[in-house]
Every structure is written in C-alpha cells, then in structure tokens.
C-alpha cells in the first residue's frame, strides 16, 4: 500500500500584537538625516507556515515628507534585507492608522520573498530618514502571512 502524504493545513500568522507595542501617541522616532534609522523586530516563533501564499506588511508612518524615507524588511530566511522606496501611491486618501495619527500603507511582500521561505524567526523593519529637515515617527506596523504547513 502507498503511504498517504500528510495533509496540508492552511495557516494565517499575524503580528497584530505589534500594533500595541508602539506608543499610540508618539510612535518610534525616526532620526532625521540618519541612515541607521529606527529598527523594530517581530520574533515569529509560532508560525508553522512552510509554503507562503501571501505576505503583506502594513506600515503606519507619521512624517512631514514621506519621500525622505527608505525602509527595509528582513525576513528570517533572507540573506539580505529587501529595500523599499516610498510607493508612488502612498495612501493619498488621508486614511489614518489605528493610532489616529499617520498614514497607512500595505505592501505585498510575496514578489520579493521566496514562496518556501522560512517564516519562523525574527522579522526586522528598519525605517530611515535620508534627508535633513523633516522629522517623523513609525507609528505602527504589522506583518500578515498566509500559507500552508
């Protein structure tokens, strides 16, 4: 008799607890004209996904000139962080984040991640302000992963 392959189970892993980790009124300061910027980490130890079907990062920023910013995301299995420029469609509709301050942008990470990338371990978001004169803060962020074991 032929052995049955283990059944694939769908999972969703959501770092929504990160929304509460930053002070709602002030966020995490992004140093002005500083390439090191601010880094925040989600240590994902409980997500059993082995094959990603979707991966999204939501970033809420309160900054007077969003085009000054550059951010990178480093996934647990990635050799190097992925750098993102400010999306051309940065939430121009004015919708604010749960914090009530800042603008929210959702970015699809799947095109830049390997579908069978490991999701367990630390995910690090770094936001840096590359131009002098305008200041701001990372208000909140979240990673949402979907896939199968």
Q: Mind listing the pLDDT tens digit for each residue in 4-44?
A: 666 788 888 887 755 544 545 567 889 999 999 988 888 88
φ/ψ of residue 18, rounded to 5: -65, -30
**Per the confidence metrics, is the pTM higher than 0.85?**
no
Total residues found in the chain within this entry: 149
Q: Tens of pLDDT along 76-113?
A: 877 888 887 777 666 665 567 765 677 788 888 887 77
3-state SS track over 60-93: EEEECCHHHEEEEEECCCCCCCEEECCCCCCCCC
């Amino acid at each position: 008799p032929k052995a049955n392959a283990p059944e694939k189970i769908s999972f969703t892993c959501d770092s929504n607890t990160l929304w509460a980790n930053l002070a709602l009124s002030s966020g995490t300061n992004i140093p002005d004209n500083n390439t090191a910027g601010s880094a925040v980490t989600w240590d994902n130890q409980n997500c059993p996904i082995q094959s990603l079907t979707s991966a999204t990062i939501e970033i809420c920023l309160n900054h007077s000139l969003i085009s000054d910013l550059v951010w990178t995301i480093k996934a647990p299995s990635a050799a190097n962080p992925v750098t993102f420029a400010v999306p051309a469609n940065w939430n121009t509709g004015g919708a604010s984040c749960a914090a009530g301050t800042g603008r929210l942008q959702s970015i699809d990470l799947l095109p830049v991640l390997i579908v069978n990338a490991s999701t367990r371990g630390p995910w690090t978001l770094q936001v840096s302000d590359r131009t002098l004169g305008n200041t701001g803060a990372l208000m909140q962020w979240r990673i949402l992963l979907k896939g199968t074991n």
